[in-house]
Structures are given as structure tokens and as C-alpha cells.
Amino acid sequence: SFQSAQRVRAISVSEILRITDHANALKRAGRPVIVLGAGEPDFNTPDNICQAAIRALERGETRYTVLDGSSVMKAAVQHKFQRDNGLTFALNEISVSAGAKQVIFNALMASINPGDEVILPTPFWTSYADMVQICGGVPVLLPCSEAQGFRLEPAQLEAAITPRTRWVFLNSPSNPSGAAYSAAQLKLITEVLLRHPAVWVLADDIYEHILYDGLAFATPAAVEPGLRDRTLTVNGVSKAYAMTGWRVGYGAGPKDLIAAMAVVQSQSTSCPSSISQAAAVEALTGPQSIVAERCSSFQARRDFVVAALNRTPGLNCRTPEGAFYTFASCSGVLGRHTPGGVQLHTDTDFCHYLLQDFDVAVVPGTVFGLAPYFRISYATAMTQLEEACARIHAACAALR
């Protein structure tokens, strides 16, 4: 029988996908399930972007491109970093892949030796830990409590760095907490990193454009230019332009790292899709107004969900600065009993109860490395959110 390789034994298919698949299966079986699991905008890809892909097809751009991105795409990425972040990169400091996920994977494959440590603040996008493990590295999880705004404290980072530390990952705004760092907060982190010249920084900026209340986005390489020669800044078009299925992400950093990432990509996917790259060029260089419009509609949804959860007995929700997730505490419902007589011990029990008895699918904080919380992805229609929050309220009110 099949025996999987050692390197994949410690990892598994994302728990979020498993929960979402299960919820969708219940839905297909006729249950009125509302699925707030997936981290995917409900909007369509803007028309100008789709049209750019169609034009690329019509021009016959159906062949392999340069390994780690066509020159037109790299120029678009260069333009984006200059315009949005004030960061200047040469074309050989830019890498384009099938999603930000592949950029991160390539970077780890290209840099991690067995036993190398990667510092991951939690709650976090757990794919980071799985990818580190596939590459033979050791994920070092640093819990960032709600009391500290789900943000890494400088002293906590300082204490976690060892001679084996290869990378520190930062993700702002964060999946799942929605927490974001201001430039001043980030500066305190980068000051620590300046004292540790062997440690590299991976900034996952995929939620850059989903930031509320007029907050200014900040990224480590811009906040501390002294880190530029050991920072990989990762971003993509999935979340900002509702392009999850197109699979285009990009990263920028020191050219030797970028070159090593290209070697990895050359032996896996060769290059990102030519059509998708043409679409992404339009996304990055075309009109940007839709990004802000969509962000304000996400903000209205955030405001609704946060208020509804905070009115719900037993729940407590910090107001996230960005992304499209709430990460609410359910500690106030633990120990209580459902009408069916089941005692809720963990956030996973609570999420199970919401799905089984009230047809709402959300993801327990345990999946993201911090309990007892649950994540709602509010990238869905307001009517669905209203119904879901009413059900969550009813579920909590029914506990004894």
C-alpha cells in the first residue's frame, strides 16, 4: 500500500478546506448552510482585468513565459511597489508565481536547511507552518494574545531568535485576526531585527489593500530600509482584485534569493499562466478605484459583524484593522450546554454546534494556533451575514 514520504507526514490538507468542504456537502444535501469559511472575496474579477486576459488570448499569448514572470508582468510589479510602497526594485529582484502561496513556498524551498527555524507569530495562516515543515525547517510559534492586539511584541521576538533562526514571518493585515501593524509598531519590530543580521524577513502583504478607517499600510522593507537586503516582500492579486482562481502572486527581494526561487520554480511549475499574467498586469497598472470601493464595502460588513457579535451573549470581538475576517473570542460560552445536552469544552465544539444545530460554518481558532476563538470570513453578501449573525446569536442564547 502507499506510504507517503517522511516530509509530508507531519502536514495535512488545510483544515479550513476540510471544514468548508464538509459545510458545502451539507448544503448540497439540502441543508440551508451559510459558509463563512473560505478566505475569498465574493466579488467578481473586474471586467477590465477579464478583458485584458481575453486580449492576451487573442494575441496568441498562450506559450511559456520567462520562468519567474514575463518582463511586462515584472515591470507591472515594479510599478506597483514604487507607486504603493515607495520601494524600488530591479526586474531581477522580482519573482512571479502561481499565487503568493507559491512565492512563499519557493522562498522556503530555496533557503531552508534541515533544522532551520522560522518564527511564526500566531494566530496565523497555518500554511506557513506546513510549508516550513515540508522544507525540513522547524516552525517556531509565538503566541500573540488579544491583549497585545494579536501583534508580535518586540521583546517576544528578541527572546525567540536563536542562531538557527532563518526567517521571521509577518502578515499584516493578518489572516485570521485582521490585526495590522502601523509603521510605528512595525519600526519596533524592525529595530530588533537590525540587531540580528542573519535573520531574514518575509512580509506577507496579501491583504494590503483591505485596511480600514483610513489606516496607512506599512511594510518592513519600507519602514526600515536597512532590512531591504534581507526582506522578501510578498503580495498578489488574489484578494485585492478578487482574482483567487487566476493564481498570480509575486515577491520582491534580494536578487540572489530571487534567482534561487526561480530555480525551484523552474523544476515545479516552470512559470505562472501566461493569460493570468496578462490579467494581473492590467490589475496592477490599470484603474485602481475599484480597490478602494470594495474595501469600503468590506468595512461596512466588518462593522456589522463586529457589532452583531458583541451583542451576542458569551462572545467578544476585537475590531480588526483589516483583511476580511473577524476573530472573536468564544471563551464566554465554554462550559455551557447546548439544548441537546452537549457541553462545549473548546472552540472546535462551539463551531461544531453552530454548524450542526444552526447551519453556520465558521473556523475554530485552534486551526490558526490560538484558542478559544473562531474566525468568520465576512467576504460574503450582507444578507447572508445578517442571517448568519442572527443564527449565531440564537445559538448562544440557547445555551444553558
Site residues, ligand PLP (CB under 6 A): 39, 99-101, 125, 171, 175, 204, 206, 236, 238, 244, 249
Crossing angle, helix 15-28 and helix 347-358, to 10 degrees? 10
Eight-class DSSP state of 113: P
CB of 396 to ligand PLP, least distance (A): 27
d(CA 259, CA 311) in angstroms, rounded, equals: 52
Closer of 40 and 387 to ligand PLP (Cβ)? 40
Rank residues 70 and 106 by Cβ distance to ligand PLP and give the closer one. Answer: 106
Taking the least distance from each CB to ligand PLP, the nearer of 70 and 175 is 175
Q: Is 8 exposed, middle or buried (0-12, 13-18, 19+ CB in 10 A)?
A: exposed
Q: Please tell me the distance from the alpha carbon of residue 23 to that of residue 17, in angstroms, as a whole number.
A: 10
Shortest CB 20 distance to ligand PLP, Å: 12
275 vs 342, which CB is nearer to ligand PLP?
275
Which residue's Cβ has the minimum distance to ligand PLP?
A: 99
Q: Please check whether residue 104 is in contact with residue 132, taking contact to mean a CB–CB distance below 8 angstroms.
A: no
H or E stretch covering 201? strand 200-204
Helix axes 289-310, 382-397, angle to 10 degrees: 20
Tell me the closest approach of the beta carbon of residue 83 to ligand PLP, in angstroms: 20
Q: Which is nearer to ligand PLP, 99 or 320 (CB)?
A: 99
Residues 6+ apart with CB under 8 A from 217: 84, 85, 180, 205, 208, 209, 211
In the complex, the smallest distance separating the C-beta of residue 120 from ligand PLP, rounded to whole angstroms, is 11
Taking the least distance from each CB to ligand PLP, the nearer of 246 and 358 is 246
Identify the DSSP state of 284.
Answer: H
Q: Which is nearer to ligand PLP, 233 or 312 (CB)?
A: 233
Cell of 134: 515540508
Least distance (Å) from ligand PLP to the CB of residue 175?
A: 4
To ligand PLP, the closest distance from the beta carbon of 183 in angstroms equals: 20
- Measured from the CB of residue 336, what is the shortest distance to ligand PLP in angstroms? 31
Q: Shortest gap between Cβ of 179 and ligand PLP (angstroms)?
A: 12
- Strand residue runs (E) in 253-384: 316-317, 325-329, 360-361, 363-364, 373-377
Complex with ligand PLP: residue 212 or 324, whichever CB lies closer? 324
Distance CA(180)–CA(374), nearest Å, equals 18
Q: Measuring CA to CA, how many Å separate 218 from each of 161, 171, 185?
A: 23, 11, 9
Which residues, listed in sequence order, are joined to residue 118 by a DSSP beta bridge? 139, 167
